[in-house]
Amino acid sequence: MITRICLVRHGETDWNVARRLQGFTDIPLNAEGLRQAHAAATHLTQEGFDAIYSSDLQRALATAQIIGRQIDVPVELDEHLRERNFGQLQGLTPDEAAERFPDIQPRVRARELEATPPDGESLAVFAERVHKGLDGIARRHPGQTVLAVAHGGVLDIAYRIATGMPLSAPRDFALGNATLNWISWDGANWAMLAWDQRAHLDRNLDELPL
């Protein structure tokens, strides 16, 4: 009973373009992000999805709703799929974050598991949340195909869950807006099926490095 999950990062936002850290800040899709969501929706009509889950942040939810309308599957909210809460780093570029928070930003950038931005959450806590969410989706849909629309940070954790890559290891894989990324669960183990599918896109931006 293999459960397949297609993870989609939300479409582009103005803060993606400005290279500002979004986290829990509820930023909408821009015009390009809407186009990307529609392109992903058209591409995914060839797949048969049994359910769609989405982060409750509007950039992910709008992307999920566009896809859901195209493939006629309702969207269910799952707060486990929210982006990491970066607290007071949110709204800043990497340079601004380094200047204003010189004690914590380098530790967050280095992927220290317990490094916690002011008013935010650590990588360890965030990863546990995402893992719990993905496990819950897989248990609810044994043998089915599910779409999950989320954020770059969530996809980062999912990649590591599926491949065994340590949370602390530097990222060496893409996390583009509106790309398609497939993982699976067989009841005992997660596995990678495909990553960074982008044939439906003219362009996209990679996840912001801190």
Q: What is the DSSP string of 41-65?
A: HHHHTTS--SEEEE-SSHHHHHHHH
d(CA 90, CA 126): 15
Query: One of 10, 38, 80, 151 is an active-site residue; which one?
Result: 10
Residue 50 CA from chain centroid, whole number: 20
Strand order of the β-sheet with 75-77 is 75-77, 51-54, 145-150, 3-9, 180-185, 190-197
- 114 is an active site residue: no
Q: Would the CA dihedral through 156, 27, 202, 70 be positive or negative?
A: positive
Number of neighbours of residue 30 by Cβ within 10 angstroms: 17
- 10 is an active site residue: yes
Query: One of 12, 38, 80, 83 is an active-site residue; which one?
Result: 83
Active site residues: 10, 83
